[in-house]
Chains A and B, each alone.
Chain A
């Protein structure tokens, strides 16, 4: 059994549901944080923990877009192309991100620095066009700022990406007042959450 899967965090997650099968989604996130993506090995580890077959776990993992069955770059750039972003230039932003990273949407570069994807609505419509970096949100990002954001990631190689920091540097119009800035951010292409152990501190 892999080391990550015998942690108290895993026990706590399983214990928080009446049925251990319900823990499959958070455990897939944990496995992804451990492996960087979901190789077959990770699927088997999760299956053993929740009492499902690897095929059943694989069926779940492939249903949801945030579970990556292939290795992603250190920075996953998700450009929203849904309606509110679309009518405010999302296609141009996506092209700018593809051009600045040299990575076409749906792919990862050879050095595994950047993965680029176009995604459906991320609930940032009032701050369109919007981008997420490892699911940390930046709103009001036009073509030029998107290029600068990519360059900043390439040059600075931040360990943790933080939405508030990126918003201050590259963002514009926001959906609403975000309130006080937080320092928590994502250390990899998995949502940064305390219970998943995937949250990091920027700075």
Chain B
């Protein structure tokens, strides 16, 4: 069962064009919603679908829309296409291969929440996906599916493409809003949440690209049909990005519920050169790692949560037994140190310390105290080192940097310790 990737699989040569989109029932759902359903009825279908946000936090989409204060206007809809979580490349495919599916989803969502001004924020490093969206926007405006009086329904919607410029943190919704307002992309303290006080201080819904790409199907088939797919709490299909030491990396759309082991075998063709899984990241660089012994965990939001990690952005990174786990953790920690916006001390200082200590272990200059030092610094960023992490910072970036560190020290402590040279006694 596939929803998001049906068109691009059936029509690889032109799935991104208006012509193909219309020939495959494109914009029928938006027309139906705008001309024969009330906004409240569309919202009800989305609530009934149990669709949870696909950006990382997994918050129920229909519930989020319900947080909008009833009487304040204007409202804004902002599409988060700032996909930057290491391991994640699914939104890139949706933007590049089926941009009209997203635009139709935006029209439906905007109608449901009574919003007439929407923005798509795409990361700056995605010029090709942005070009495809830009082209699709021009086609949609020319066809009258955007602009004034769409489908003769009286509903107006302006949709603007905005390009980021290289900052992971802008994937955090309040940082994204600051960026869109022309400020540095620094996260805001919540509450107030964007639904109450978002873009330009007005009620704003921020939804991920994949989340909104599901809207046409939900309107066409009904929320209940969507909710019926997959186990409870993980409704619908989901596009997972599989990378690392597998034979066939790629994006694979599945109904959730199969185990990680099955997914890696069936879709990824197993581990390269017949090797074993040493460890894997179940949900992007921010997620704590699982080991090769945990491949039987089912891919559902709740099962992964119970096992101490998260499905996050849907990025699965597989590492085989040749992997130097300290080097892998160092890569991820360096990422967070580089991307820390610098507002909060535990994150700004802590990520740099973690990076420095891991780097010296890698160089063979580690000290016996370093293992405890890594845990101590981590504890200062996310006290107690539990999951989900306790926050000392405005946003979850800092605590995310702790995930790879606690992962290697929990699962591979002996291996890390073995990289530290014996202390030479002072003569």
Judge whether B88 is part of the interface by a CB distance below 8 angstroms: yes
Which A71-109 residues have a C-beta within 8 angstroms of B?
78, 81-84, 86-88
**Which of B86, B161, B251 is close to A84, meaning CB atoms less than 8 Å apart?**
B86
- Docked Cα-Cα span, A156 to B120, in Å, equals 36
Residues of chain B with a CB closer than 8 A to A132's CB: 125
Judge whether A182 is part of the interface by a CB distance below 8 angstroms: yes
- Docked Cα-Cα span, A95 to B263, in Å, equals 34
13 A-B residue contacts at CB 8 Å?
A18-B117, A63-B341, A65-B167, A66-B166, A83-B244, A87-B331, A123-B123, A125-B315, A126-B242, A175-B251, A176-B251, A177-B8, A178-B96
**Which of A125, A182, A193, A196 is close to B243, meaning CB atoms less than 8 Å apart?**
A125
Judge whether A121 is part of the interface by a CB distance below 8 angstroms: yes
Q: How far is the CB of B125 from chain A (nearest CB, A)?
A: 5
- Docked Cα-Cα span, A87 to B16, in Å, equals 32
When C-beta atoms are compared, the residue in chain B nearest to A64 turns out to be B165
When C-beta atoms are compared, the residue in chain B nearest to A135 turns out to be B127
Q: Are A194 and B131 in contact (CB under 8 A)?
A: yes
- Contact A25/B179 with A84-B87, A125-B249, A182-B131 known, Cβ cut-off 8 Å: yes
Q: Are A120 and B182 in contact (CB under 8 A)?
A: no
Q: Are B241 and A22 in contact (CB under 8 A)?
A: no
Name which of A60, A78, A81, A125 has the most chain B CB atoms within 10 A of its CB: A125
**Which of B92, B162, B315 is close to A26, meaning CB atoms less than 8 Å apart?**
B162
Judge whether B126 is part of the interface by a CB distance below 8 angstroms: yes
**Which of B12, B85, B242, B331 is close to A81, meaning CB atoms less than 8 Å apart?**
B331
Judge whether B109 is part of the interface by a CB distance below 8 angstroms: no
Judge whether B226 is part of the interface by a CB distance below 8 angstroms: no
Judge whether B352 is part of the interface by a CB distance below 8 angstroms: no
Of the listed stretches A2-10, A142-150, A184-192, chain B binds: A184-192
Residues of chain B with a CB closer than 8 A to A16's CB: 160
Q: How far is the CB of A94 from chain B (nearest CB, A)?
A: 12
Which residues of B approach A to under 8 Å, CB–CB? Answer: 8, 12-16, 83-89, 91-93, 96-97, 117, 123-128, 130-131, 134-135, 160-168, 179-185, 200, 241-245, 249-251, 281, 285, 315, 317, 319, 323, 327-328, 331-332, 334-335, 338-339, 341
Q: Are B328 and A193 in contact (CB under 8 A)?
A: no
**Which of A83, A128, A177 is close to B335, meaning CB atoms less than 8 Å apart?**
A83
- Contact A120/B83 with A65-B166, A87-B323, A179-B15 known, Cβ cut-off 8 Å: no
Judge whether A24 is part of the interface by a CB distance below 8 angstroms: yes
- Contact A64/B164 with A22-B180, A120-B339, A126-B242 known, Cβ cut-off 8 Å: yes
Q: Are B163 and A25 in contact (CB under 8 A)?
A: yes
- Docked Cα-Cα span, A142 to B30, in Å, equals 45
Judge whether A44 is part of the interface by a CB distance below 8 angstroms: no
Residues of chain B with a CB closer than 8 A to A81's CB: 331, 334
Q: How far is the CB of B106 from chain A (nearest CB, A)?
A: 16
Residues of chain A with a CB closer than 8 A to B87's CB: 83-84, 121, 125
Which residues of A approach B to under 8 Å, CB–CB? Answer: 16-19, 21-26, 28-29, 50, 52, 59-60, 63-67, 78, 81-84, 86-88, 119-128, 132, 135-137, 163, 173, 175-180, 182, 184, 186, 191-196, 199
Residues of chain A with a CB closer than 8 A to B12's CB: 177, 179
Name which of A50, A132, A195 has the most chain B CB atoms within 10 A of its CB: A195
- Docked Cα-Cα span, A25 to B339, in Å, equals 18
Name which of B91, B184, B281 has the most chain A CB atoms within 10 A of its CB: B184
- Docked Cα-Cα span, A156 to B86, in Å, equals 33
Residues of chain A with a CB closer than 8 A to B15's CB: 179
- Docked Cα-Cα span, A176 to B338, in Å, equals 28
- Docked Cα-Cα span, A163 to B244, in Å, equals 23
When C-beta atoms are compared, the residue in chain A nearest to B185 turns out to be A63
- Docked Cα-Cα span, A114 to B243, in Å, equals 30
Q: Are B125 and A64 in contact (CB under 8 A)?
A: no
Residues of chain B with a CB closer than 8 A to A163's CB: 128
Q: Are A83 and B127 in contact (CB under 8 A)?
A: no
- Contact A123/B92 with A83-B281, A84-B86 known, Cβ cut-off 8 Å: yes
Residues of chain B with a CB closer than 8 A to A84's CB: 86-87, 243-244, 249, 317
Q: How far is the CB of B282 from chain A (nearest CB, A)?
A: 13
Q: Are B125 and A82 in contact (CB under 8 A)?
A: no
The 5 lowest CB-CB distance pairs between A and B, nearest first, are: A64-B165, A65-B166, A21-B182, A125-B243, A66-B166
Name which of B162, B166, B281 has the most chain A CB atoms within 10 A of its CB: B166
Q: Are A18 and B200 in contact (CB under 8 A)?
A: yes
Residues of chain B with a CB closer than 8 A to A186's CB: 127
Q: Are B86 and A120 in contact (CB under 8 A)?
A: yes
Can you add 13 more A-B contacts, CB < 8 Å, to A83-B244, A87-B245?
A16-B160, A19-B200, A21-B182, A22-B181, A25-B165, A65-B166, A66-B124, A83-B317, A84-B249, A120-B86, A121-B86, A175-B243, A179-B16
Residues of chain A with a CB closer than 8 A to B96's CB: 178-179
- Docked Cα-Cα span, A18 to B245, in Å, equals 46
Q: How far is the CB of B80 from chain A (nearest CB, A)?
A: 14
- Docked Cα-Cα span, A64 to B281, in Å, equals 27
Residues of chain A with a CB closer than 8 A to B13's CB: 179-180
Q: How far is the CB of B131 from chain A (nearest CB, A)?
A: 6
When C-beta atoms are compared, the residue in chain B nearest to A124 turns out to be B89
Q: Are A25 and B162 in contact (CB under 8 A)?
A: yes
Q: Are B185 and A64 in contact (CB under 8 A)?
A: yes
